[in-house]
Structure 1
Amino acid sequence: MVNRVWAFILIPLLLFYAHPVGAVEKEDRKWQDESIYYLMVDRFYNGDFKNDFHVNVKDPQSFHGGDFKGIVDKLDYISDMGFTAIWLTPIFDNEEKGYHGYWVKDFYNTEEHFGTIDEYKTLVAEAHNRNMKVILSFPINQYNHEVNDHLIDAAKWWISETKVDGYFLAEVNSASKDFLTDFVQEVKSVKNDFYILGEVRSNDPHFITEYEDTGIDGFIDFPLMESLRPAYAQVDQSLNELITRKEELLSTYKDPYLMGTLMDDDKIERFTRDVITKNQHPGPRWKLAFTYLYTTPGIPIVYYGSEIALDGGLGPDSHRMMDFRTDKDLIDYMTKLGELRNSLPSLTRGDVKVLAEENGVIAYKRTYEGETTVIVINNSSESQSITISASELADNKELRGLLTNDLVKSNDQQYQLFIDREEAEIYVLAPKSGINIPYVAATVIVWSAFIGFVIALWRRSKRNRPQP
């Protein structure tokens, strides 16, 4: 009983002091604040076996049983990792073996393997109950004006009927810009703050920007991914090329904060395949890549299974069924990153400046309305130290680590950071701690209460003893 009471007294105090310094609630939530979990409906989770028509899990090109009910069952799993939005592959009625959703034959009905329209509405509502947004892939490939009008009407209908929050438009460069402009304008008239993410599958950022005037909010940042994957696929890679590429892209896109940043998607080999092909351990590689995605401008998009380093090659091999029985180490790391991204506005809204890059170590800062975070990533096989001048931050302060609990105080007008190999840290700039009067006072109160409780128990026990 003593232990239970002691825990009851101490836990609130520990939680209070464990809260990240500088963390604030974000007001006026923007799309750049989101983090997106991208999943293939058929390959995520089978929650309703009654709709398993001609399902064959041994055939990579057949339906495997994932459905709306399965996604609802796992919404807490997604939300607990810190994701604030989910992006689904197309859910419309498809041709035979159209498990991926892109062989649409009826835009006004759901694919029977996934569930009913009412079940999809339940999915959206349950996501909204968790303060999560829903993005739906909406195929738009045809040039016929009559078909184009049909697509626009269907897109508006789904928003009105289901309250979906955004659309992903694949291969927008295969459609006319006039149609895209009309589509975006009509769709956005139905719901405020509706987000449209486009795909121009090119590594040329200037080709992508040709479609910005259509009104599409953001695009998948394939040029960044081209530099991201080789930079983090194996240890001891210089990050200088990645820095140069990111700086170029920040100055090229109209709004780089609304671009979708990711390591892989459903059309290419998974990043894990790159890693294991180079005889590397996927865990550390993914952790560093996630750290970069979560702390640089852009909306991080995580393809389902990346949180368990799911492997996969091209085509259907990249669409393997999700496994929920694996090791949780990478999930725990991503969860911590999600907590920090959701609580530190500088990570989603702040400007960015590189402070140092040497020997595979990169340090950069994000600043927003008085909040400064410093991110350090060691992409090398050796533990290293890196020096940051106080003129880049502030003198007589300290950097408080939020991933590994590191603490670095300024000394001689500089900060000396030590980072273990293949590890990263996210620091918050804060006043030097010194003697923490509130903490000392609270500790005295806790110990006094505990001692008083023990004395009370002893006295009561003494009174209850049988008299001789």
Structure 2
Amino acid sequence: MRKLGTVLMLIPFLLFCALDVGAVEKEERKWQDESIYYIMVDRFMNANRDNDYEVDTDDPDAYHGGDLQGIIEQLDYINEMGFTTIELSPIMSNQEMGYHGNWVDDFMAVEEHYGTIDDAKQLVEEAHDRDIKVIFDFNVNFTGDKHPWLEEDEKTDWFNDIDENQEPVEELNIDNPEVQQYLFDVAEFWIDETGVNGFRLEPGKNVSQEFWSGFNDHVKSIDKDFFVLGDVENEDPTSVADYESTGIDSFVNYSFHESLMNAFKSVDGSLGPLYDVWEQNEQLYENPMALGNFIDNQDQQRFTRTAVEHGGNPITRWKLALTHMFTSPGIPMMYYGTEIPLDGGQAPENRRMMDFKGGDEELNQRIEKLTSMRDEFPALTRGSYQELYNEDGLAVFKREYEEQTMVIAINNASATRTADISDLPDNQQMRGLLEDGVVRQSDDGVYKLGMERELADVFVVEDDQGYNWLFIGFVGGVLFLFVTAITWMSIKSKRASNLKGDK
């Protein structure tokens, strides 16, 4: 029996060896190959209690204790989910109650609640040790309304006049050459001191393209591979795309966010707009593959809340939305706590403290599979993008890169949907990577795809393996031996029992 058990234990290994992985040989990574985990530093993990002054976890507008050391201690957690980049909310020194990082009072110091410059440097180093890149959020055109510069007469022209009814910030005069040079120096400081890989710029509407261009040129003169992500909210895509000429690498894709939220917030939502956004971006941007795609962020109501408000199961809704985000052209940017999934309305309720004990295993597995697939199959990060079918809540997309073809199918309907897919090579099969199904070409030359309600799958298109009769015969033989052994042992046990009875 011990030998029989050993043979049975070999079955998963032999099954794995029988499958054709079909991954394209690894190439040098591009930013569009990355996947980003966004962290609001104050709300992630409190590891250093020594900097917990003015902390009030019951007040959503106060510091909650998260710090850089907490992120360092959770790098393995992030790495295990499969993310290749982390992005941090602003870590520059802020005035009182500036837990979000937007009320800067010193551009060249780490906020004391988060730690020190040495902590920031250690965080980047340890992330790099795990092949994880780091992006810092960088607010380039406003400070807190208590910044020391406001008391300096010689810096009067460093600021613009703004509406007093806005939040406690003052807008910098980016047209002032002295301000520009200072911000260039700030960028150089953080790159030199920490080795950070990129900045996400939140410049607002009053920053000229000339500044963006100069800033981009400066950081790339320090590090030619430095990544600059522009965040321009509430602007039409055409206006945002105009800034691409400045050399900035990418922009946050708000159009993607809006289309995804509308599509997946409820069952039976139309998936038609999803491809419309891609076609729009393909026309507007020189490099639409590098746009930053997101579902949640620090300024939006959590998708969990939206799904519940529309009567959906948040786990099911998240699995569909995440599958689309991770398989669409662009860089997926996942907000911390999505894997729980955290709930929350508008800010600051959407910035709750991370709960590492409350994770959902089903959702975690989906995230890990999606990040793994992006790493294994370049077609999901670099491939062309084509819509094959989009009707009645079922959408099917194809991505091709060199010799690799992937098919993404998402059924957002409340009932099973089917589609005949014909724009694929002959004599192939579609092998599901999420649901483990196989779709083969029928006699009439089409692939008849059936998807149960609220289900998504990602298929790799490969040579039709047919039925592996050798392996099936092997498994059948093992099972036959197992049943025979059990039967023989049962008969032997009964005989022994009868002999004892006769005595």
Contact 1:171/1:201 (8 A) holds in 2: no
1:428 paired to 2:464: no
Question: 1:309 offset after TM fit, Å?
Answer: 2.4
Question: 1:173 offset after TM fit, Å?
Answer: 2.9
Deviations 1:41-96 (A, max 9, x none): 00011111121111110111111011111111111111111111000011111111
**Residues 195 and 438 from structure 1, CA distance in 2 versus in 1: closer, same or farther, beyond 3 angstroms?**
farther
Q: In the alignment, which of 281, 288, 297 is matched to residue 329 of structure 2?
A: 297
In structure 2, distance between residues paired with 1:262 and 1:435:
40
Question: 1:277 offset after TM fit, Å?
Answer: 1.4
| Residue correspondence of structure 1 range 271-420 to structure 2 within 5 A | 271-326=303-358, 327-389=360-422, 392-411=423-442, 412-420=444-452
| Residue correspondence of structure 1 range 442-461 to structure 2 within 5 A | none
Deviations 1:217-263 (A, max 9, x none): 11011122121111100000111122223212222112101100111
3-state SS, counterpart of residue 307 of structure 1: coil
**2:228 alignment partner AA:** I
Deviations 1:364-418 (A, max 9, x none): 10000110000000000111211101xx111111111110001011012000111
Question: 1:4 offset after TM fit, Å?
Answer: 7.9
In structure 1, distance between residues paired with 2:5 and 2:89:
48
3-state SS, counterpart of residue 174 of structure 1: coil
3-state SS, counterpart of residue 28 of structure 2: coil
**Residues 3 and 203 from structure 1, CA distance in 2 versus in 1: closer, same or farther, beyond 3 angstroms?**
farther
**Residues 5 and 122 from structure 1, CA distance in 2 versus in 1: closer, same or farther, beyond 3 angstroms?**
farther
In structure 2, distance between residues paired with 1:29 and 1:419:
33
- Structure 1 match to 2:101: 101
1:124 paired to 2:156: no
| Residue correspondence of structure 1 range 186-197 to structure 2 within 5 A | 186-197=218-229
- Structure 2 match to 1:244: 276
**2:365 alignment partner AA:** D
3-state SS, counterpart of residue 185 of structure 2: helix
**1:410 alignment partner AA:** Q
3-state SS, counterpart of residue 374 of structure 1: strand
Question: 1:157 offset after TM fit, Å?
Answer: 1.6
| Residue correspondence of structure 1 range 85-100 to structure 2 within 5 A | 85-100=85-100
Contact 1:203/1:223 (8 A) holds in 2: no
| Residue correspondence of structure 1 range 115-264 to structure 2 within 5 A | 115-141=115-141, 142=172, 143=174, 144-202=176-234, 204-264=236-296
3-state SS, counterpart of residue 210 of structure 1: helix
In structure 2, distance between residues paired with 1:65 and 1:228:
33
Contact 1:10/1:446 (8 A) holds in 2: no
In structure 2, distance between residues paired with 1:296 and 1:282:
21
**1:136 alignment partner AA:** F
Contact 1:202/1:223 (8 A) holds in 2: no
**Residues 165 and 444 from structure 1, CA distance in 2 versus in 1: closer, same or farther, beyond 3 angstroms?**
farther
What stretches of structure 2 of length at least 5 have no aligned partner? 142-171, 483-503
3-state SS, counterpart of residue 385 of structure 1: strand
3-state SS, counterpart of residue 109 of structure 2: strand
- Structure 2 match to 1:464: none
- Structure 2 match to 1:13: 14
Question: 1:288 offset after TM fit, Å?
Answer: 0.7
**2:398 alignment partner AA:** K
In structure 1, distance between residues paired with 2:39 and 2:68:
11
**Residues 54 and 15 from structure 1, CA distance in 2 versus in 1: closer, same or farther, beyond 3 angstroms?**
farther
In structure 2, distance between residues paired with 1:174 and 1:52:
36
Contact 1:203/1:226 (8 A) holds in 2: no
| Residue correspondence of structure 1 range 55-74 to structure 2 within 5 A | 55-74=55-74
In structure 2, distance between residues paired with 1:24 and 1:139:
39
1:82 paired to 2:92: no
In structure 1, distance between residues paired with 2:45 and 2:16:
34
Q: In the alignment, which of 297, 302, 308 is matched to residue 265 of structure 1?
A: 297
In structure 1, distance between residues paired with 2:68 and 2:5:
42
Question: 1:176 offset after TM fit, Å?
Answer: 2.1
RMSD: 2.5
In structure 1, distance between residues paired with 2:323 and 2:393:
15
Q: How many residues align?
A: 449
**Residues 440 and 268 from structure 1, CA distance in 2 versus in 1: closer, same or farther, beyond 3 angstroms?**
closer
TM-score normalised by the chain length of structure 2? 0.84
**1:335 alignment partner AA:** E
Question: 1:204 offset after TM fit, Å?
Answer: 1.5
3-state SS, counterpart of residue 315 of structure 1: coil
3-state SS, counterpart of residue 205 of structure 2: helix
In structure 2, distance between residues paired with 1:117 and 1:354:
48
Contact 1:202/1:208 (8 A) holds in 2: no
- Structure 2 match to 1:34: 34
Contact 1:205/1:253 (8 A) holds in 2: no
- Structure 1 match to 2:493: none
**1:169 alignment partner AA:** L
What stretches of structure 1 of length at least 5 have no aligned partner? 451-468
In structure 2, distance between residues paired with 1:161 and 1:73:
21
Contact 2:395/2:411 (8 A) holds in 1: yes
**1:350 alignment partner AA:** G
3-state SS, counterpart of residue 60 of structure 1: coil
Contact 2:11/2:475 (8 A) holds in 1: no
**2:14 alignment partner AA:** L
Question: 1:421 offset after TM fit, Å?
Answer: 0.6
- Structure 2 match to 1:466: none
**2:436 alignment partner AA:** N
**Residues 53 and 446 from structure 1, CA distance in 2 versus in 1: closer, same or farther, beyond 3 angstroms?**
farther
- Structure 1 match to 2:164: none
TM-score normalised by the chain length of structure 1? 0.90
Contact 2:326/2:370 (8 A) holds in 1: yes
**Residues 37 and 17 from structure 1, CA distance in 2 versus in 1: closer, same or farther, beyond 3 angstroms?**
farther
**1:103 alignment partner AA:** W
3-state SS, counterpart of residue 428 of structure 1: strand
- Structure 1 match to 2:43: 43
Contact 1:384/1:421 (8 A) holds in 2: yes
